[in-house]
Amino acid sequence: MSTVSSLTPAPASALKRVFGSGFFKRSDTSLLVLIVVVTAVAAATLGDFRTISNFSNLLNTVALIAIVAIGEAVTIIARQIDLSVGAILGICAYLVGETTHHISGPLGPVVGVAMSLALGGVLGLGNALLIDALKMPAIIATLATLSIYTGVQIFVNNGSQLYLTQVPKWLSGLRGATWFGISTFIWVAVICMLVVGFILRRTRFGRDVYALGSNPEAAIYLGVKVRLRTYQLFALCGAMAGLGGLLYVSQFGNVDATAGSGMNLTVIAAAVVGGVSLFGGSGNAYNAVLGALLLGEIQNILELTRISVFAEQTLQGVAIVVAVAVYAVVSRRLRRPVRREAMAVATMGAATPLAGATSEGGSHE
């Protein structure tokens, strides 16, 4: 049923070997096609679009969002959500920028990356703690941590901001640097996509994330360690947000107390539009990347055609609603168990420890 996308044979089979066949789904291929079409049309009709500077700016922005969206996707697949990623990013941006300022030599980048991942991970664990220990629904827990972390962010900034001059050269230069002709940001994004994609696809942890999102009761029944996985997945999401923070410093130079605010909706929209279902259980890292790419492009086009610089939130909001609606309609059509001529699906009388094991979407969350 699943088709490998229409890549050239060699990369396709390599991907197949690493990720297992069944990696690409038909809907993802159509999204990719859509992106290609949009890019082609825009490049053909908009002079401003096809400039190198626009392109590189666009890709850098997209890369940054994609990285955080990859982490967010992990939580969404598990039927959770993380509204605090923007604040995590902001905290990490400032602190990592500040700290690496004092570290010279090749140790700098190492510490920078390690610290951003670790700090982000720890902040993510805070989310998991609330959800696990206090049994809070993720939406409210991360709403609370959003405010708390924002407060921490402001506290840490201490009324000032991080200036470009305080940022170590290797970091500020990252934005313009290229490896083999491709911007470093894109490399980082692609690496994250591959690594997280691999984790989701090839580790027990990753498979448990899907199980939890697809049918939480069956997952518990079959012995998935829910608590451990909750901590792990929010830590991963936080780590990605932290890494995004590192890149944020490079991208914008100045880091003030508002860094990362407003990113939450963008990141969720990117994941959802890219194909990660808000009902949980499906999607992968590349969906987040595709979504970030598509949304980023549309946003760019809107800006260039002066339709409005300010359409961003509207776009993201509408995109989420449409994506959810489309998914609900399509999945309802697909998920109906096959009806037989004479028989119905019976439930009473038999010993069913799992009532409602077939997921019917989460309209009551």
8 A C-beta contact, residue 67 and residue 190: no
Give the other-Cβ count within 10 Å of 328's Cβ: 15
Question: 3-32: which residues touch other proteins (CB under 8 A)?
Answer: 19-22
Give the other-Cβ count within 10 Å of 252's Cβ: 16
Q: How far is 155 from 95, CA to CA, in rounded Å?
A: 11
Q: How many residues does the chain have?
A: 365
Is 340 a residue that touches other proteins (CB under 8 A)?
yes
Select from 297, 114, 111, 74 the least CA-distant residue to 199: 74
Least CB distance to other proteins at residue 233 (A): 16
Q: Which of 13, 30, 45, 313 binds other proteins (CB under 8 A)?
A: 313
- Output 98 or 132, the one with its CB closest to other proteins: 132
Q: How far is 365 from 363, CA to CA, in rounded Å?
A: 6
8 A C-beta contact, residue 78 and residue 211: no
Is 309 a residue that touches other proteins (CB under 8 A)?
yes
Q: Which of 99, 194, 201, 226 binds other proteins (CB under 8 A)?
A: 201
Q: Which of 13, 30, 147, 305 binds other proteins (CB under 8 A)?
A: 147
Q: How far is 86 from 93, CA to CA, in rounded Å?
A: 10
Is 130 a residue that touches other proteins (CB under 8 A)?
yes
Least CB distance to other proteins at residue 178 (A): 32
Q: How far is 291 from 323, CA to CA, in rounded Å?
A: 11
Q: Which of 146, 209, 241, 249 binds other proteins (CB under 8 A)?
A: 146
Least CB distance to other proteins at residue 345 (A): 6
8 A C-beta contact, residue 82 and residue 75: yes
User: What residue has token string 């929010």?
Assistant: 234
Q: How far is 356 from 221, CA to CA, in rounded Å?
A: 13
Question: 345-364: which residues touch other proteins (CB under 8 A)?
Answer: 345-359, 361-364
Q: Which of 37, 102, 195, 217 binds other proteins (CB under 8 A)?
A: 217
8 A C-beta contact, residue 121 and residue 235: yes
Q: Which of 115, 221, 226, 304 binds other proteins (CB under 8 A)?
A: 221
Question: 89-128: which residues touch other proteins (CB under 8 A)?
Answer: none
- Output 158 or 165, the one with its CB closest to other proteins: 158
Q: Which of 38, 121, 139, 189 binds other proteins (CB under 8 A)?
A: 139
Q: Which of 145, 232, 284, 300 binds other proteins (CB under 8 A)?
A: 145
How are the residues of the chain apportioned to helix, strand and coil, as percentages rounded to the nearest 5? 70, 0, 30
Binding map of other proteins across residues 256-285, x = CB under 8 A, - = no contact: -x-------x--xx--x----xxxxxx---
Q: Which of 48, 203, 227, 228 binds other proteins (CB under 8 A)?
A: 203
- Output 23 or 49, the one with its CB closest to other proteins: 23
Number of residues that bind other proteins (CB under 8 A): 107
Q: Which of 107, 191, 325, 330 binds other proteins (CB under 8 A)?
A: 325
What one-character-per-residue DSSP string does 87-124 give? HHHHHHHHHHHHHHHT--TTHHHHHHHHHHHHHHHHHH
- Cα angle: 66, vertex 331, 1; to 5 degrees: 80
Is 2 a residue that touches other proteins (CB under 8 A)?
yes
Is 247 a residue that touches other proteins (CB under 8 A)?
no
User: What does the radius of gyration of the chain's CA atoms come to, in whole angstroms?
Assistant: 21
Question: 37-76: which residues touch other proteins (CB under 8 A)?
Answer: none
